Amino acid sequence: FGKKYDFEKVGEGYELEELVSEGYELLGIFNWSDHFPLICWLDLQGVRKRCRNLVSRVNVFVGKIIEEHRLKRLSEGLNDDNCNVGEFVDVLLDLEKHEKLADSDMIAVLWEMIFRGTDTVAVLLEWILARMVLHPEVQAKAQAEIESVVGKSKHVSDSDIPNLPYLQAIVKETLRVHPPGPLLSWARLAIHDVHVGDYFVPAGTTAMVNMWAITHDEKLWEEPERFKPERFMEEDISILGCDLRLAPFGSGRRVCPGKAMGLATAHLWLAQLLQRFKWIPSEDRNVDLTEHLKLSLEMKSPLVCRAIPRVP
């Protein structure tokens, strides 16, 4: 968006963090109205009120970003012919002229990028680092691969990732064991009674894909509870949606549009973290792999470990 935020001080960065945190909490909170629609008008937990307040605050915050870009373009005399598009907001503003993209639509698109582009990669990396602490032999093997490809003096870059198959296998195995989105949004509504295999699905039923159950099915995976990146070295399994044994980003028309960027970010950050640090257990707290489903499948107890510098 062309802006940097300081999250250590009270200001726009602090407000953005509050908005995202509130959104995550509201999406993951247990709401009695979801289970008893007849009492939804009571809003006993105040969830609907908090949602309305959040929407208003998001509209103001993101709307300000859009307006700042509009004013900047006007002050610099930019138009479609001389505008050097370098920020996503400017792309949306250019579309606005031709496709009449309303402010409400731009706010929705920009908020989706902010909101859904932050938690999944962060959650995935936390799970990976937890596994690196618990499986030092896997960590050492990945670090040796990085050193053999990149060396000790050069920092790893995105162009090195295709030459790091074991590191990619670690990401795949973590997505299998701890999928950030265990219940995929391929929801389907049965408009009439139907049988799916041996199961009867009555009309009005909403069905979702349980990716967690698929990735832990012993009929599909050998030793599914074991963390074993080598399984993806032995068989090339795509995680981009063409192999339904492992489709953490979904598949088909509703596949995650940010899958390539999210995967590239996870690969690069993991490579840099493993190259620069050795990850070992904390002296005061063990790694707890208990899962907790909110907006994403998070660690119930946040990871606490030690990072020992490896390279200057």
Alpha helices in the chain, H assignment, sequence order: 12-28, 32-35, 47-75, 88-99, 103-116, 119-134, 136-150, 165-177, 211-215, 231-234, 259-276
The answer to whether the annotation marks 40 as part of a ligand binding site is no
φ/ψ bin of 262: left (φ > 0), alpha (ψ from -120 to 50), beta (otherwise)? alpha
Contacts of 125 (CB under 8 A, 6+ apart): 266, 269, 270, 273
How far is the CA of 228 from the CAs of 217, 222, 233, 263, 300, in angstroms?
15, 10, 10, 19, 22
Alpha-carbon gap, residue 246 to 236, rounded angstroms: 12
Binding residues: 256
Binding residues for heme: 256
